[in-house]
A and B are shown apart, each in its own frame.
Chain A
Amino acid sequence: MTGTAPLHLSGITKRFPGVLANDNVGFSIAPGEIHALLGENGAGKSTLVKMIYGVMRPDEGSMHFGDTPYAPAKPSDARAHGVGMVFQHFSLFEALSVAENVALGMNKDAVSKDLDKQIVEVSEAYGLPLDPKRLIDSLSVGERQRVEVVRCLLQNPRLLIMDEPTSVLTPQEVEILFETLRKLSSEGCSILYISHKLEEIRTLCDRATVLRGGKVVADCDPRQETAKSLAELMIGTSLSFPEPHAAKLGDERLVVKGLSVKSPDPFGTDLRDISFCVCAGEILGIAGVAGNGQVELMEVLTGEKTTDNDAVLIDNAPVGRENTTTRRRRGMCSVPEERLGHGAVPEMSLWENTILSARTRLGMERNGFLNLGIAHDFANEIVQKFNVKTPGIEHEARSLSGGNLQKFIVGREILQTPTVLVILQPTWGVDAAAAADIHRALQELAKGGAAILVISQDLDELMAISINFAVISEGRLSESRPTGSMSVEEIGLLMGGVHSSVGKKGAA
């Protein structure tokens, strides 16, 4: 790690059919600097990073590593230059061991015979202990990220790119990661840190470049800015955040009692003895690191998978064996995590997509025939009330941006006036303005007497909107408590599955 080769970008432009992803982007990263790249979804961060890592090539512009021109044609070129990258959706292979995963991410000539030993040495030196023999699927999400980081560290990087590294970590794991990054930076390694978590950037980063619509709109010292001013730079307008509302809770609407389910997926999570209840007017937030049973719980609640009849009750009626349609008729609506393919059919138009979930509750179907008029009107109503930006309801669902489609899907469920709404990752990959809209809509629905269950990995989101709060870890759910009564540390420990991780983290 010589630390004498900062990266300069100038005039980088990249076009895709119909989109200018990067427009004349230029900035510099100094040796040992932790440089934040900020921007909303679709601002062009990922495209830019892919060009630096050699996955894509810029149409125009040039990059320099120190004084030498730098134009990687493929990722192995980038790695040979000392550029490492930790991906947002990890580039790991679940059925392979840690050592095999590390070897795959290194260039052939960089892999030595004593790889196992090297992994242990480097991982201990940076406070990220790892066992090279273990299979990835047995690791927690935090440990998986360590594998990615260690893989980069073994190649003595001069620039480390981290794409939204903390979105899947517990607060404690974030602290460990930050210490590692600071240590690296003190050794002269530059870090390009991509995130939209503004507080993190303010504590960690030395400089920040803000992208909006593919252009650099600001280059600033994040320590001199507030989270609000950074957010406004990112989205270009001022923001209003939802206020938590005072709750007046009614009867129990959704009750889950002693729910245990074995996952059919060998890499899935079994649910173990989950019990909770959501009352009318309540928003219950369930936090947790991805892969701890959220998807499995969602499937059982919505009826995509059936279970013991008495394990799930809607308005005191046991529904565990009922299917999705019957539960909808009873008043339960749901929004899954995956927008394209689960929440909506990508190739179908918006109005066709309304039929899929609103058919039962809005009487679009009669004797096997569909009333398309109702579907059209309903789609128009969603677009209008939820401010969905689209040229028209005839357009395919996939033509909408992530945020707009999410607003459409959430709108489709909320406007069916459900009595129980289950929603997984309501604002995953959605820009700040759309997220605020969605949060406000959820709060209004709760005020109207619906019971809402929000399962999310975004702690800030849950803190902002939920009245009560629980944590899911390894398929177990903690007791639900009023949101204000828990500290971030406590929640973090619960997310890490207290029993196992406290000792481990202490040792690390």
Chain B
Amino acid sequence: MDLLILILQGVIVAATPLVFAAIGELVVERAGVLNLGIEGMMILGAIAGFSVTLDSGSYLAGIIAAAAAGAVAAFLFGVLTQVLMANQVATGLALTIFGLGLSALWGQGYSGESTVPLAKIHIPLLSDIPIIGPLLFSHDPLVYLSIILVAGVAWFLAKTRAGLILRAVGENHDAAHAIGYNVVGVRMLALLFGGACAGIGGTYLSTVQTPLWVEDMTAGRGWIALAIVVFAAWRPGRALLGAYLFGGVTVVQLHIQGFGVDIDAQILSMLPYLITILVLVLISHDKARANFNAPACLTKPFFASS
């Protein structure tokens, strides 16, 4: 029983960075932009969050720095793709490479350092309930923030006028422009939000999960987040589910290794990535269904023609 609780707690910790990154990217894609730079924004968030937390001793400052780093990177992406009309796919890939490189440079003085992980919240009574307590009521604040964020995004997209405008821009930017909405403005805001989320997801890795700075520590999680958005068919609730699923696979394979099962560790480590590919293949199997929820203007450049 204790082991199961331990595994489930591990799943939550492994899934949370994915939740942040995926929900941010989901908003960006609903606005019609594909930002392949999540990995880059995450790793920048990781080093920004780690260095600021270590230097200032304040986790809040670290989280804010991480969000800011992700947002600045996303802003750069936005200027290139929305204002200067650069190709989104190429720019996103460049952002990832840039982020990995810059974070390595920034983190040179920090490698090998470690910090105390962000403390878990202890709620009197609730946290002490057996099973439910450790599972639901004794996590660090970022876990709760990630859940609130998903609920908030779901509410924003479905119920608010601003959310409706954002979906409209992703659906048909020419029509949105004709009716008089600021397509580029909406997309920039969505990108900044997505960047900030990716940044926080990154710092979750470096100040909570591991808590130390290692070069390239995101290890492809940005790409998994991207896959989760497709898996989720651009719906926030399903993105949460997807993140926990992938988080689960990551943790379970670690424990299988721990049990000494006779499978090569390398193959087990591959599992989360293999599952990602498998899920994407299965989803894209039926082309009509795969396209059904995709924002119609995804990756299409918007030229404000008169």
Which A residues have a C-beta under 8 Å from some C-beta of B? Answer: 47, 50, 54-56, 74-76, 79, 87, 89-96, 100, 103-105, 108, 111, 262-266
Contact = CB atoms under 8 A, between A and B. Distances in A.
A74 B183 CA distance: 14
B187 interface: no
A424 B161 CA distance: 40
B291 A103 contact: no
B255 to A, nearest CB: 41
A97 B291 CA distance: 18
B203 to A, nearest CB: 34
A221 to B, nearest CB: 32
B230 to A, nearest CB: 15
A104 B288 contact: no
Interface in B260-306: 287-289, 291-293, 295-296, 306
A76 to B, nearest CB: 5
B296 A95 contact: yes
A76 B175 contact: no
Nearest to B293: A95
A94 B171 CA distance: 7
Contact of A266 (B167, B180, B289): B289
A75 B296 contact: no
B289 A92 contact: no
Contacts of A103: 161, 164
Given A75-B180, A111-B161, 12 more contacts: A50-B306, A91-B172, A91-B178, A93-B172, A95-B293, A95-B295, A96-B171, A104-B176, A104-B181, A262-B288, A265-B288, A266-B289
Contacts of A111: 161
Nearest to B167: A96
Contacts of B167: 93, 95-96
Given A92-B172, A92-B175, A265-B291, A108 B161 contact: yes
A36 B189 CA distance: 41
A262 to B, nearest CB: 8
B125 interface: no
Nearest to B165: A104
A337 to B, nearest CB: 18
Interface of B: 161, 164-165, 167-168, 171-172, 174-176, 178-181, 287-289, 291-293, 295-296, 306
A94 B293 CA distance: 11
Contacts of B295: 95
28 contacts: A50-B306, A54-B180, A55-B306, A56-B306, A75-B178, A75-B179, A90-B175, A91-B174, A92-B172, A93-B171, A95-B171, A95-B293, A95-B295, A95-B296, A96-B167, A96-B168, A96-B171, A100-B168, A103-B161, A104-B165, A104-B168, A104-B179, A111-B161, A262-B288, A265-B288, A265-B291, A266-B289, A266-B291
Contact of A76 (B174, B176, B180): B180
A90 B179 CA distance: 10
Contacts of B165: 104
A82 B253 CA distance: 63
Nearest to B306: A56
A79 B174 CA distance: 18
Residue of B172, B292, B293 with most chain A CB atoms under a 10 A cut-off: B172
Contacts of B179: 75, 91, 104-105
A217 to B, nearest CB: 23
B306 A91 contact: no
Nearest to A100: B164
A75 B282 CA distance: 44
A99 B238 CA distance: 25
A135 to B, nearest CB: 11
Nearest to A21: B306
A104 B164 contact: yes
Given A94-B171, A264-B288, A265-B291, A55 B296 contact: no
Nearest to A85: B178
Contacts of B175: 87, 90-93
Contacts of A92: 172, 175
A102 to B, nearest CB: 11
Contacts of B171: 93-96
A142 B172 CA distance: 19
Nearest to A262: B288
A55 B291 CA distance: 32
Q: Which of B175, B180, B289 has the most CB of A within 10 A?
A: B180
Contacts of A87: 175, 178
A4 B2 CA distance: 79
A499 B168 CA distance: 33
Contacts of B296: 94-95
Q: Closest 4 interchain pairs by CB?
A: A75-B180, A91-B175, A93-B171, A91-B178
Nearest to B292: A266
Contacts of B306: 47, 50, 55-56
A261 to B, nearest CB: 13
B29 to A, nearest CB: 13
A75 B164 CA distance: 18
B72 to A, nearest CB: 30
